[in-house]
A and B are shown apart, each in its own frame.
Chain A
Amino acid sequence: MNKKRIIHQDVYISVLLMILGVYLFYLTTKMMPEAARFPRMALGVFMILMVWTFVDGVRKSIAATNVQEKKDIRLLKWEQNKMPFALFVITVAYAIGLDFLGFFTATAIFIPVVMLFFRCRNIKLIAGVTIGTLLFVYLMFVVFLHAALP
């Protein structure tokens, strides 16, 4: 019987975080001993827990490989995550836009883009949500709370 090897996501995550932990530990060697003490304590606990997660991930991988009927082992899948990642990229672009275009211009572009991204084709709704949000923010944060916006 051909068994397809499955590596549980906990293995990848724990290895990546252990590498990060080692790098952060290296950074603490350049600090004064008193300043490095607490970060090292937290790192020590973190690394122990990551080793535990790694071992558990290996166990889960072996179990998943040995079971014919693959049950949910909580693997991150691109198909499942492409929408949130795409939305995240749009949001990062919006944040950069806030810096260069200012809040109201960037937001007036961002809201319709996101609504179209979610396949909303109702122009009246898009216009209503955009204008309504901008008006609410202006009245609440600029007029009422005197908050500075980007």
Chain B
Amino acid sequence: MSVIANAFMALLQPEVLLAMIVGILGGMIIGILPGLGGTIAAALMMPLTYTLSPTAALVMLTTIYTSAVYGGSFTAILLHTPGTTASAATALDGYELTKQGKGLEAIGIATFGSICGGFFSGVMLLMIAPSLSKVALMFSSSEYFLIAIFGLTIIGSLVKDAPIKGLASGAFGLLISTVGMDAMTGQLRFTFGKAWLHSGITIVPTMIGLFAISQVLILAEDWAKANEKMFEDSDGNLNHGMVESMKRMVPSGKTMLQLLPNAIRSSIIGLLIGIMPGAGGDVACWVAYDSAKRVSKNPDEFGRGSIAGVCASEASNNAVTGGSFIPLFTLGVPGSSTAAVILGGMMIHGLIPGNSLFTDQADKVYPIMIGFMIANILMGIVGILIGPSLTRLAGVPISSLAPILIVLCMIGAYTANGNMYDVYIALAFGIIGYLMRRTGFTPTPIVLAVILGGMAENGFSQSLVMARGDVIGYYLSRPISCVLLVLTVVALLWPVFQWAKGKAKAAKV
């Protein structure tokens, strides 16, 4: 209990509170901007965390994630342009409500759903993660190798339409992780005689390049389309006084009670999907939406402006955020690309996932988890106060947005280590990321592999020593290794099976 009390005390530090507020505003603003989401928000705002304490830094990063998902709902509802893919289902009914002149009410319902989902997932994170982390105590180096491979396999293989390319991206990322001096032998690998590569490829510039710079290049490709006036379809029902707006946005007690079972069910769906690596808010919002429709007494309302549809979608996508932290904090396996960026942030601030995070570093991780819960409530309050005004940011033209984003990318890459080489690394990964996304590859497995590559290689090398020549026998003699091997094989074969099934179906048609 004293851990929880101490966590609350830690959260009262001005630095942590400020980090939370900055995280909420930054996450919401970036979430509102179409084309940008939590991953880019976390990568872009990473430099702000360098000078912060680990607790404040991680509170900011986790807050950014949930706020970006919430921010995406504003443009989904008011402009029919989901700020993030996780709000796609919200747009369906939310925009219908806007057309009926109930845009602010829909935002109120989305806020209620987001708070429920995010808070619920935070509570579950606090309850499940410390117990689950004890599983990590049973892991030796061989299991850490398999955990890294399993994480990569599942993230890579869940790439829609192109699982092979997803896996290839992961293998390429593992290669990148070997650049620099080998920890075991001191051998320089793939450094091409460049001294600045001796310490390897730094993760922050890699993430900034692959996620943020590549996204700016994609925005440039679509700029003519994206530069269209985005408010043309809005009915302008935002033009009320602040007090009147707030009155319309806060749902009545009766409405909240009616929606509570829906919010809880959708939060559970979001939590479970968030725990599964690879599946994210974009999957959860549709599953929860469909589930709410099936149990609804008025299923015909769905798609025509149902508040239950908005609530289900928003509760589930915010519950995904806390869910994805459970495998991240306990095993080091991120459940989404944003969680992968946050894992990078954890490494930078010396927070190592696993049981020690909940024992040796309990003074840091408990405030982070409780801070995440509180941030979900604060996020809703901020959303009601200034959310509709922030929505106007969605109309910022690409001509203004692109240079600002690039400047922030350059600062982020440079301040990682204070050298220009990292800026060039970010640029190189920016163009690689752009080409990858345009050719059906995906950058997330690369980032994950760069983060987990070191752990995988160390685990593999150590298990080779312990195996004394019989590697296969050694792995098969360890029950946890066997389970992880089976899971990896299933994760590898499942998308191939799905892909082959899809092809056979297409051939029939």
> At the interface, yes or no: A45 with Cβ under 8 Å from chain B?
yes
| Inter-chain contacts of A61 with B (CB < 8 A) | none
Q: How large is the interface on B (under 10, 10 to 19, 20 to 34, 35 or more residues)?
A: 35 or more
Interchain CB contact (< 8 A) of B399 among A46, A107, A118: A118
Is A118 a contact partner of B167 (Cβ separation < 8 A)?
no
What is the CA–CA distance of A81 and B415 in the complex, to the nearest angstrom?
Answer: 30
> At the interface, yes or no: A7 with Cβ under 8 Å from chain B?
no
Smallest CB separation, B496 vs chain A (Å)? 10
Closest B residue to A77 by CB, please name it: B438
Smallest CB separation, A150 vs chain B (Å)? 5
Is B403 a contact partner of A110 (Cβ separation < 8 A)?
yes
Is A46 a contact partner of B168 (Cβ separation < 8 A)?
yes
Is B411 a contact partner of A118 (Cβ separation < 8 A)?
no
| Inter-chain contacts of A22 with B (CB < 8 A) | none
> Taking A38-B460, A38-B461, A110-B407 as contacts, is the C-beta distance between A115 and B400 under 8 angstroms?
yes
> Taking A76-B439, A95-B423, A95-B427 as contacts, is the C-beta distance between A24 and B190 under 8 angstroms?
yes
Interface of chain A residues 113 through 138 with chain B (CB within 8 A): 114-115, 117-120, 125, 129, 133, 137
Smallest CB separation, B170 vs chain A (Å)? 8
> Taking A49-B171, A148-B415 as contacts, is the C-beta distance between A118 and B397 under 8 angstroms?
yes
**A residues contacting the other copy or chain, number (CB 8 A):** 61
Closest B residue to A35 by CB, please name it: B187
Interface centre among B187, B399, B460 (most CB of A within 10 A): B399
B residues whose Cβ falls under 8 Å from a Cβ of A: 47-48, 50-51, 164-165, 167-168, 171-172, 174-175, 178, 182, 184-185, 187, 189-190, 213, 216-218, 220-221, 223, 227, 397-400, 402-404, 406-407, 410-411, 414-415, 418, 420, 423-424, 427, 430-431, 434-435, 438-440, 456-457, 460-461
Interchain CB contact (< 8 A) of B190 among A13, A27, A41, A150: A27
| Inter-chain contacts of B221 with A (CB < 8 A) | 80-81, 83-84
Q: Which 8 A-B pairs have the closest CB atoms?
A: A118-B399, A35-B187, A84-B217, A46-B171, A42-B174, A120-B399, A49-B168, A114-B403
| Inter-chain contacts of B407 with A (CB < 8 A) | 107, 110-111, 133, 137
> At the interface, yes or no: A31 with Cβ under 8 Å from chain B?
yes
Closest A residue to B458 by CB, please name it: A38
From DSSP, what is the main secondary structure of chain B's interface residues?
A: helix
Is B175 a contact partner of A39 (Cβ separation < 8 A)?
yes
| Inter-chain contacts of A36 with B (CB < 8 A) | 189
| Inter-chain contacts of B435 with A (CB < 8 A) | 76
Is A88 a contact partner of B403 (Cβ separation < 8 A)?
no
What is the CA–CA distance of A129 and B404 in the complex, to the nearest angstrom?
Answer: 8
Interchain CB contact (< 8 A) of B415 among A35, A76, A133, A141: A141
Smallest CB separation, B70 vs chain A (Å)? 23
Is A39 a contact partner of B410 (Cβ separation < 8 A)?
no
